[in-house]
A and B are shown apart, each in its own frame.
Chain A
């Protein structure tokens, strides 16, 4: 039965779901004990933002997965354009993300034609 469902992969999927929930559940358990105005709470928030920024920067500069097939200068240019247009349009998310998307697609296509 286990083999039919994917054997080791099924084990990995279930355990991955479990460890992922563990972080979330632990967060709820710990959260009741912290005052929002306390220094520890602010430190935890700083750690959360640093983790997220690190993750996002890694996805742009050193991605794993499909994005690794794109070129670094193309990703940086697309991110820079998205950032610039976002603030020029008074924080219009649609324009920001779609311009980044469009530039990366065009640059990647361009490399395909050039190569």
Chain B
């Protein structure tokens, strides 16, 4: 078990680890979102509200695009809900590694609002080796770099929309999938989880051609279950 010395120091360590490539990638990804918000005729505060509250980029993009084509609120909410369903298994998988029996449970309900792919992957890497009381502070420290960076990215992207060459802004949006791809390729080593990644990457686009709305959910359940049944070993 490693210790930063105190929960406050663990939070600072989280801040420092987030400050750098993860922060830049998130800010850049939200530059693209901010530009999209403006091009869709939405107000800056609406884009900021979306980033501050939902903080899950694919669902945010779905919301803006559906709104732009005049979809009713109910259709938008269903699409966002389906696109963000990944957060459920992500939170379940992360929570045991943030757990501290001495910490009130409501704090986890608050912290859950900041579970997003980047911080999730970082906490899964770092937190299992930490003393229990420092885990949640580390995760929140890390998130409190990425979240403001996302808000700043949204605002700057909104302001710069149209001012940056299109190719560059497209490249910035592309940083997000590339970053996630590399993080998972580097981090994940258990055979069933590697198989789940590979099968999911194949099934995701294929199922999207068949049923765009349900493809993610189906991909997760089918690819995850096949990978689990094929490679999980009872301990």
Contacts A23-B87, A34-B96; A83 near B197 (Cβ below 8 A): no
**How big is the B interface, by class?**
35 or more
- In the complex, are the beta carbons of A55 and B174 less than 8 A apart? no
- In the complex, are the beta carbons of A57 and B201 less than 8 A apart? yes
Contacts A25-B109, A65-B36, A102-B171; A47 near B196 (Cβ below 8 A): yes
The contact of B85 among A31, A51, A91, A93, by CB within 8 Å, is A51
Contacts A27-B112, A101-B174, A108-B170; A48 near B216 (Cβ below 8 A): no
The contact of A67 among B42, B76, B173, B216, by CB within 8 Å, is B173
The contact of B72 among A8, A56, A62, A64, by CB within 8 Å, is A8
Give chain B nearest CB distance to A85 CB in angstroms: 10
Contacts A13-B50, A44-B89, A83-B182; A54 near B223 (Cβ below 8 A): yes
Contacts A78-B178, A100-B174; A49 near B204 (Cβ below 8 A): no
The contact of B54 among A10, A16, A41, A86, by CB within 8 Å, is A16
- In the complex, are the beta carbons of A53 and B108 less than 8 A apart? no
Q: Would you call B1 an interface residue if the criterion is a C-beta within 8 Å of the partner chain's C-beta atoms?
A: no
A-B contact count (CB 8 A): 303
Q: Which among B7-15, B137-145, B147-155, B161-169 touches the partner chain? A: B161-169
Contacts A6-B46, A20-B53, A43-B224; A66 near B234 (Cβ below 8 A): no
The contact of B92 among A20, A44, A79, A94, by CB within 8 Å, is A44
**How big is the A interface, by class?**
35 or more
The contact of B200 among A37, A53, A86, by CB within 8 Å, is A53
- In the complex, are the beta carbons of B92 and A31 less than 8 A apart? yes
Contacts A28-B112, A49-B200, A52-B200; A34 near B170 (Cβ below 8 A): no
- In the complex, are the beta carbons of B85 and A56 less than 8 A apart? no
Q: Would you call A109 an interface residue if the criterion is a C-beta within 8 Å of the partner chain's C-beta atoms?
A: yes
* Residues of B contacting A1 in the complex (Cβ-Cβ under 8 angstroms): none
Which residues of A, 22-78, contact B by the 8 Å Cβ criterion?
22-28, 30-32, 34, 36-37, 39, 41-67, 69-70, 75, 78
- In the complex, are the beta carbons of A93 and B170 less than 8 A apart? no
- In the complex, are the beta carbons of A54 and B220 less than 8 A apart? yes
- In the complex, are the beta carbons of B109 and A9 less than 8 A apart? no
Give chain A nearest CB distance to B165 CB in angstroms: 8
The contact of A66 among B36, B67, B109, B184, by CB within 8 Å, is B36
Q: Would you call B126 an interface residue if the criterion is a C-beta within 8 Å of the partner chain's C-beta atoms?
A: no
Give chain A nearest CB distance to B96 CB in angstroms: 5
Give chain B nearest CB distance to A13 CB in angstroms: 6
- In the complex, are the beta carbons of B178 and A101 less than 8 A apart? yes
Q: List 11 A-B contacts (CB under 8 A).
A: A12-B73, A27-B91, A27-B115, A41-B93, A46-B193, A46-B228, A49-B196, A51-B219, A56-B180, A66-B36, A67-B174
